[in-house]
Every structure is written in C-alpha cells, then in structure tokens.
Amino acid sequence: MTITILDFFKKAQRPLYYKTKMNQLRVGEILSLGGLKQDEGYAQAYIRKEPRKTWSFHALWTMPGKAIWAEGSFSVKNKMVILTPGTADENLTYFFVVCRRLADLIAQEREKYTDDDDAIQTSWYQRQGVHALFDGQVICRLGNTSCNNYHQKLLLSTASKQAISMNPLLALGVEC
C-alpha cells in the first residue's frame, strides 16, 4: 500500500503539521498520537524514527471492544508513504483505526474542560503543559517531552511512559 504522507495524517485524523514534527524526529524519538492508560486497558498510537530514513508505527488498543495490536515500518519518498517489506497493509489499516478511536477520546477530553464557561477548569494535561492524551507530544529517548533546551522539559513518570508506549505483550498479559 502506498499513500501520500498527507493522506497518512488525514486517515489518522491528525493535523497536517504533524508531518513537520515527524520529519524533525531524531533516531529513537517518538511522536505520540495519543496515549491513555485506564483500569479497562490501554489505548496508544505513536510513530518512532528509525535509522536510515525510516519510521515505525505502533498502535495498541486493549480498551473495551476488539483488542488491536498493529505495528510496522515505512519510508517516505517523493511525499509517498511506502511500507517496508514485511509490513502488511492490514497493519496500517488497524493503526488508523486506533488513531481514529484515540481522536475521539482526545476530543472528549478537550470537551470536558471547555463546557463550563463560569469556572476555569484545567485538566491534568493542561496543568503539566502537555497536549490532551499526549497527542502530538514528541518524546525523547530519555523520556522528556521536549527534545531541545528552548521548551520546558517534563520528566514523565513510569505510568505516563506506559500510557504513551506500553509494551503490547505486557498490556495483553503475556509474560515476556
């Protein structure tokens, strides 16, 4: 399957400027497309920069409903996303499904704190200076949410790191 990079972000229901964020990633850094850990399970999707001008995509959904685990890798040439050999088209399709479900959760999170105009309410994410459900957050290899000295660095707790990039086998209860 080959699609344009713009269609990639449209199908993931993310802003087109995420393309720039993705291009600015250094090897090992993650662009989170949302991450949530609740008692019911995990919901997460992210893109990681790999060596040699490739990226990997990862999606995990263990919330109520059908469990989904999708991952694969791709390169971008002439504005086209090209899946690497060994990555099935279905994996990208499932990745988009998880991204769309996360987009709904992100919209719900934002809506919770904008309904009441009388009281100034802030969510945990706003108080920490990060995006709702870590959507669009760049995560460095060291676990900081900012990869340069110009922005505030937020050291993530283990629970927050797991919400963003939990090992799928652990989330599904398989011992590694």
pLDDT value of position 77: 94
Nearest-angstrom CA–CA distance, 107 and 99: 12
Instruction: Give me the DSSP letters along 116-134.
Output: -SSS----HHHHHT--GGG
Domain limits, the chain: 2-164
Global pTM?
0.79
pLDDT band at 166; cut points 50, 70, 90 = low
pLDDT value of position 2: 81
pLDDT value of position 108: 85
Write the CA distances from 1 to 10, 53, 71, 123, integer angstroms: 16, 18, 15, 39
Mean pLDDT of 37-64: 90
Say yes or no to pLDDT of 44 above 80: yes
In sequence order, which residues have a C-beta less than 8 Å from that of residue 31 and are 6 or more positions away? 18, 21, 22, 25, 46, 47, 48, 136, 137, 138, 139
Nearest-angstrom CA–CA distance, 143 and 87: 27
Taken in order 62, 14, 48, 135, is the CA torsion positive or negative? negative
Of the candidates 124, 102, 110, 104, the one whose C-alpha atom is nearest the C-alpha of residue 45 is 102
Report residue 111 as tokens.
């809506």
| CB-based contact 29:139 (threshold 8 Å) | yes
Say yes or no to pLDDT of 151 above 50: no
